[in-house]
Structure 1
Amino acid sequence: MSREQRRPNPIQWIGYVFGRRLPDSMIDWVRNDLTGKHAAARHILRGLIPFTPLFAAFLLFPGELWLRGSMVLLALLLALFYTAAFMPMNRAHRLAKHGLPADLESPERTHRRAQERATYAAQHPH
């Protein structure tokens, strides 16, 4: 029996973290991952995974533990900054790579935006 996979296995997820495309059977998972609840937190976590070998290497440097910890903290802060700063572009790229519209939003955000437009139109008629 051939059951389509709905979630990536650990190897597929690691490939996804590094930019690989997942199979079409997982498109709903990708949509939820990039636009669902807690998508920003998942993006930050996904963005930090590739830096873990660097963090581990910094801990192996010679010197005091506080100095090595400071190196890891500085690298972590820089990684967080760049991961957050490039979140919209990375999200759009991942969506497009999986055949979804690059400007796809979560259903909650779409509903909120429609409500804001309706409120504005009601307050400012032509």
Structure 2
Amino acid sequence: MGRSRPGPIRWLWYAVGGRLPDEYREWVLYDLTAPTWVLRHLCRAMVQHSVWLLLLLLPIPLTLRIWMVVTGVSVGLFFSLAFIEDASERRLIRQGFPVGLNRKIREESSGAQRSELAAMYAAYYTTEPDV
């Protein structure tokens, strides 16, 4: 499969919710349907919640700063995991894929078939309709 992976800057943009160029559509589909899609989601969520580390700069006692960071990250991760399906769906829709594709791919295939099925869907949905 010829999917190209985005560089670090583009991946950070993608991690905080940005849309990648069309050349990365197949990689985005793989990213959201791979067997490790939950771990990948957690990595993106940790990037998003790293903003809580700015609380360490406040001029208050260190223990309070640490507890504020721990609370912010844990609540953020809880909600991130609670809405993991919706977040994945929105990412695919933003890239131009049809609604429900990620769930369909994950439910229809085993681990060995997953990348082949993702490539098939990506090839089908990247072609322009005849008008």
Equivalent residue of 1:22, what SS? coil
Q: 1:91 aligns with which of 88, 92, 98?
A: 88
Q: Is the 8 A contact 1:92 1:103 kept in 2?
A: yes
Aligned to 2:40: 42
Structure with the greater alpha carbon radius of gyration:
1
**Aligned counterpart, 1:67:** 64
2:50 to 43, 49, 52: 52
| Aligned counterparts, 1:26-37, within 5 A | 26-37=24-35
More displaced 10-residue stretch of structure 1: 100-109 or 61-70: 100-109
CA deviations 1:34-91 (Å, max 9, x no partner) are 11021111112212312212x2221112233222111111001111011111211111
Q: Which amino acid aligns with 2:78?
A: F
- Count of equivalent residues: 108
**Runs of 4 or more consecutive aligned structure 1 residues displaced over 4 Å after TM superposition:** none
Distance in 1, matches of 2:6 and 2:104, equals 21
User: Which is worse superposed, 32-41 or 10-19?
Assistant: 10-19
Amino acid at match of 1:92: E
Compute the displacement of 1:5 (Å). 7.5
Secondary structure in 2 matching 1:109:
helix
Q: Structure 2: which 5+ residue stretches go unaligned? A: 111-131
Seq. identity, %: 33
Write the distance in 2 (CA, Å) between the matches of 1:89 and 1:108: 14
The 2-side partners of 1:88 and 1:110 are apart by: 16
Give the SS at the match of 2:109: helix
Partners in 2 of 1:106 and 1:33 — Cα distance? 15
Q: Which of structures 1 and 2 has the larger relative contact order (alpha carbons within 8 angstroms, sep 6+)? A: 2
Scaled by the length of structure 1, the TM-score of the pair is 0.73
Give, in whole Å, the separation in 1 of the partners of 2:99 and 2:33: 11
Q: Give TM-score, length-normalised by structure 2.
A: 0.71
Counterpart amino acid of 1:45?
C
